[in-house]
Structure 1
Amino acid sequence: MRPQPLAACLLAVLLPLGAAAQAATAPAVPAAPAAPVPAPAATPPAPAAPAGLTGSFDNGRVLAYTCQGCHGITGYKNAYPSYKVPKIGGQTQQYLSQALSEYRQGKRKHPTMQAQSMSFSEQEIADLAVYLSTVK
């Protein structure tokens, strides 16, 4: 969670209080019949991830920012449990996709990686694999 500026926090707290006070002092006005609201254009649901899913390099670069905290530090080790953090840059797309998918499915056990992988969609995993496979 990122910190919010003080003004944003105050606004978030005070805005609902002001609206409640205004509603309490406003005279009761009969509601006018609502004008019909046009229905939004139907958007097709996102397609399920096909087996040959291709990734977006640019989106993968953005998503990989989180990975750099551990995997971007040469010789880094976790504090608990103590694991040597593997190099992921330059691995094949297939390996990276499979590893993240196995963490999501619980086939690979590492609490941090399981939590991270659960936050990614199949498309985002493909995006990460495309980008990370090019990093040296």
Structure 2
Amino acid sequence: MKRPAIVNIFAWGLLLAFAGAAHAAGDPVAGKQKNAMCVGCHGIEGYRTSYPTVYNVPRIGGQHAEYLVKALQAYKTDARNHPSMKGIAATLSDQDMEDLAAYYAGSGK
């Protein structure tokens, strides 16, 4: 018996929803252990860099994990341009990015 198209679309939607939920989330404990390169700038209230230009460094604690991962990926692929962040992101694996994002999205400051 052939199913109606709407049933197939619904089934695919459920499959995609569960596939996204199965995506490995980062480990905030591991992220805290990996944040030495981040906290030196992002952990200081009102911090400004002077290289390559004066730049107000944003606090990233409490930011959405998905946003943080996308931002790090963008620095790694040169879609975002900041020399320090590009250099740091280039050293991070996908798991490192997920872990750091989980830490900062939670209680990371």
Report which of the two has the higher share of helix. Answer: 2
2:86 is aligned with 1:114 = yes
**Greater length-normalized contact order (CA 8 Å, ≥ 6 residues apart):** 2
Structure 2 stretches lacking a partner, 5+ long: 1-18
Secondary structure at 2:30's aligned position in 1? helix
Q: Runs (4+) of structure 1 moved beyond 6 Å?
A: none
Q: TM-score, normalised by structure 2?
A: 0.74
Alignment map for 1:54-93 (pairs within 5 Å) = 54-80=25-51, 81-93=53-65
**Cα distance in structure 2, aligned partners of 1:76 and 1:58:** 25
**Cα distance in structure 1, aligned partners of 2:24 and 2:79:** 21
For the aligned residues, what is the CA RMSD? 1.6
Structure of higher CA gyration radius: 1
Tell me the alpha carbon deviations over residues 99-122 of structure 1, each in whole angstroms, 9 at most, x when there is no partner: 000000100000000000011000
Q: 1:91 Cα deviation (Å)?
A: 0.1
For these two proteins, the number of residue pairs brought into alignment is 87
